Amino acid sequence: MSKINCIGILTSGGDSPGMNAAIRAITRTAISKGFSVKGIYRGYEGLMHDDIEEFTTESVSNIIARGGTILKSARSKDFMTPEGKQLAYETLKKEGIDALVIIGGNGSLTGARDFAQMFDVPCIGLPGTIDNDLYGTDLTIGYDTTLNTIVDCVDKIRDTANSHERIFFVEVMGRDAGFLAQNSAIASGAEAAIIPEDSTDADQLEHFIGRGIRKSKNSSIVIVSESPKCGAMFYADRVKKEYPQYDVRVSILGHLQRGGSPSARDRILASRLGAGAIDAILDGQRNVMIGIRNDEVVYVPFTDAIRSDKEINKGLIRVLDELSI
C-alpha cells in the first residue's frame, strides 16, 4: 500500500449543518498528524475539474458555527459515468492527493465506493445528511439541527393552528426515510406522523381520522414525510373533500430545514467523526464510513452504509399514538 501524504476533502449531495465542523476537524486532525490537506470544491465536480485548494489550519478558522459547507456542494451526474471517474482520478494524480474523505449522504458514498473500487484509491466517508438514513450509524451530521429547526417551525405553526382552530399538514424532508417526520412529531406534540416505514399512506391517514381527528382539541398537526406521490397537499385535499367541516391548511417547510447554525450535538458529532476519519486512515482502514453507535466511533463498510433499509424505531409510532389522545 503506497504511503499517504496528502488528504483531499469534499462535501457532496445535499448540504447539512455540521459539514463545516467536520471539514474543520478533518483538516486540523490531519495537519496535526503530519498530513497535508487539500479542499476540493463543489464535490465530485471539483474533483473532475480540478477546483482544489491547499488547506492550512487557518482555512478552517471560525467555521464551526456556520451552516452549509465552505467547500460548496453538488450532485454530480457526470461523476457517475466511467469517464467522469477517470477524469477525477487524473486530477487526484495531478494534485498529489493520496486519499479522500467524502462528507455526504447515500448517493455521495455510493460514488465513493465505486470510485474506490475502480481506482484503488483509499476513501473514507462521513455521514453528512439531514435525513439520518445511513445504515450502521445512530446519527448523521445535520440531523439533530434539522430536527430542532422543524420543531421550532411546528411550535410556531401550532400558535396559528390553535387561534384559527385548523388542521395543519406540515411536510418535512427526509427523502425516503421518516426519521425527521417521526421524531419531530413526538418532539412538537403533533397529533400524527405519516412516514414511509409505517403501513400504507392511506392506512395512516385513516388511522388519524379514525381517532376522531380533533377530539377535544381545537387544532391538529400532522407531520408528513415528503413523497413525490402523496405529500402534505395530497392528504389535505383528501381531508378537505371528505370532511368539509374542517378548516385545513398545508405548510411545506422546504429548504429552510437544511440551513442554520449546527446544534452543539451536531458540532460534537462532526468533530468526533472528522477526527475519526484521520484515525481510520492511520489505522489502514479503507472504504468505510465513520459512524457512531452507542456513543462509540465505528467503521461501517460503504456497502453496508448505503443499504436503504435503516430501521426506524417502530415503538415510537405507538408512543406518538398514545401521547396524542
When asked if residue 103 is in the footprint of ligand F6P (CB under 6 A), the reply is no
Name the residue type at position 243: Y
Q: Of the ranges 89-97, 155-163, 168-176, 317-325, which one interacts with ligand F6P (CB under 6 A)? A: 168-176
Give the per-residue contact string, 57-96, with ligand F6P (x = CB under 6 A; - = no). Answer: ----------------------------------------
131 carries an active-site annotation: yes
When asked if residue 105 is in the footprint of ligand F6P (CB under 6 A), the reply is yes
When asked if residue 231 is in the footprint of ligand F6P (CB under 6 A), the reply is no
Work out whether strand 36-40 and strand 6-11 pair parallel, antiparallel, or are unpaired: parallel
Q: What is the smallest separation between the CB atom of 67 and ligand F6P, expressed in angstroms? A: 13
- Residues that bind ligand F6P (rule: CB under 6 A) add up to a total of 10
Which CB, 24 or 258, lies closer to ligand F6P? Answer: 258
Cell of 269: 458529532
Name the residue type at position 278: I
Which CB, 115 or 143, lies closer to ligand F6P? Answer: 143
Cell of 194: 405519516
Sheet holding 123-127, edge to edge: 52-55, 36-40, 6-11, 99-104, 123-127, 288-293, 296-301
Q: Find the binder of ligand F6P among 91, 129, 140, 149 (CB under 6 A).
A: 129
Q: Determine how many CB atoms are found less than 10 A away from the CB of residue 324.
A: 20
When asked if residue 175 is in the footprint of ligand F6P (CB under 6 A), the reply is yes
CA distance 105 to 250: 28
Q: Find the binder of ligand F6P among 147, 173, 222, 312 (CB under 6 A).
A: 173
CA distance 232 to 252: 7
User: Which residues are bridge partners to 289 per DSSP?
Assistant: 125, 300
When asked if residue 130 is in the footprint of ligand F6P (CB under 6 A), the reply is yes
When asked if residue 43 is in the footprint of ligand F6P (CB under 6 A), the reply is no
Half-sphere exposure of 285 (CA within 13 A, CB side): 21
Q: Determine how many CB atoms are found less than 10 A away from the CB of residue 216.
A: 6
Cell of 15: 448540504
Q: Find the binder of ligand F6P among 131, 191, 197, 201 (CB under 6 A).
A: 131
Annotated catalytic residue within 15, 98, 131, 144:
131
Q: Of the ranges 33-41, 129-137, 183-191, 215-223, which one interacts with ligand F6P (CB under 6 A)? A: 129-137
Of the candidates 157, 175, 167, 162, the residue with the CA atom closest to the CA atom of residue 306? 175
**Active-site positions?**
131
Q: Catalog residues that contact ligand F6P under the rule CB under 6 A.
A: 14, 105, 129-131, 173-175, 226, 258
